Amino acid sequence: MKSDCIQTTSCQERKKDPIEMFHSGQLVKVCAPMVRYSKLSFRTLVRKYDCDLCYTPMIVAADFVRSAKARDSEFTTNQGDCPLIVQFAANDARLLSDAARIVCPYANGIDINCGCPQRWALAEGYGACLINKPELVRDMVKQVRNQVENPRFSVSIKIRIHDDLTRTVDLCRKAEATGVSWITVHGRTVEERHQPVHYEAIKIIKESMSIPIVANGDIRSLKEAENVWHITGTDGVMVARGLLANPAMFAGYEETPLKCIWDWVDIALELGTPYMCFHQHLMYMMEKITSRQEKRIFNALSSTSAVLDYLTDHYGIDRTS
């Protein structure tokens, strides 16, 4: 686990509490947990463009607890990386609470992934299968609450919905009674992938709960985020692919501005972002502003120096001056 803030004040003391943000009456703009992508360098970028709260990629709690190598590779942060939620895949209350205690000094809270629909996660008893195990979710939340002494440390869950929405409302009410801080709802069932998001279902869940609810699913612009916020009555919106394509989305940009690309280069180089990650993010960001021929050339580049040369030649982004 790499952190520049080990010798400094803890995250909770340095930045506004997410719970307070959700009760502000303002739209809370959230960067989703994204495997491989929502790492420190990308979180640093979106925070520059009005993102209020960031999640780490999903981390398997058992590996995190048992392996120092996993901790070093999966969780990297620094003093400016706040407020921050660490998302875990877990199916064991003790292991989850152990993982929460490890990250507690460096994050505002943890989130339990109850929404990942991938087969490997379901086979391991992680992710979306947990929406059918409310007692296990309750036990995990209780154990974290008992083991983490900081009362401001949040414990949230991210879920998908059931075909029978009454089951989802029941799950959320049980989670609320257990002490969950907030719930993020992806408005699709486990089986749905690209079907329209059920925003009406998210609205019903919000109207049934007292704790904050965050809406998630198919939000690609600030205007869409504000629209979903109003439609659902939720306390925040969480965005994944929309931010990958345009990290400046929450600041109101319709497509990635050149300044944002410039910022990404600076941040990625400063934080030592691996080349594949550095390049892949640029491919996403430049999707809308490059022609098919330009994409073929850019996507085939194989070194940081080649990328910097390309950006300088095509967009006047010169990081050597």
- CA 204 to CA 81: how far, in whole Å? 33
Ligand-binding annotation for 186, yes or no, is yes
Residue 241 is labelled as binding a ligand:
yes
Catalytic residue among 116, 129, 172, 260: 116
Start-to-end C-alpha separation, the chain: 34
19's tokens: 């719970």
Chain centroid to CA 110: how far?
11
Ramachandran sector of residue 254 (left: φ over 0; alpha: ψ -120 to 50; beta: rest):
alpha
What's the CA gap between 261 and 239, in Å, rounded?
19
* DSSP secondary structure, 146-160, as one string: HH---TT-EEEEEEE
Smallest CA-to-CA distance from 141 within 169, 101, 112 is with: 112
Asked if 65 and 131 touch (Cβ cutoff 8 Å), the reply is no
Is there a binding annotation on residue 240? Answer: yes
Positive or negative: CA dihedral 20, 25, 31, 32: positive
For residues 241 and 281, what is the distance between their CA atoms, to the nearest angstrom? Answer: 11
Residue 116 is among the residues annotated as catalytic for this protein:
yes
Binding site, annotated residues for FMN: 33-35, 87, 186, 240-241
- Per the annotation, binding residues are 33-35, 87, 186, 240-241
Just list the catalytic residues: 116
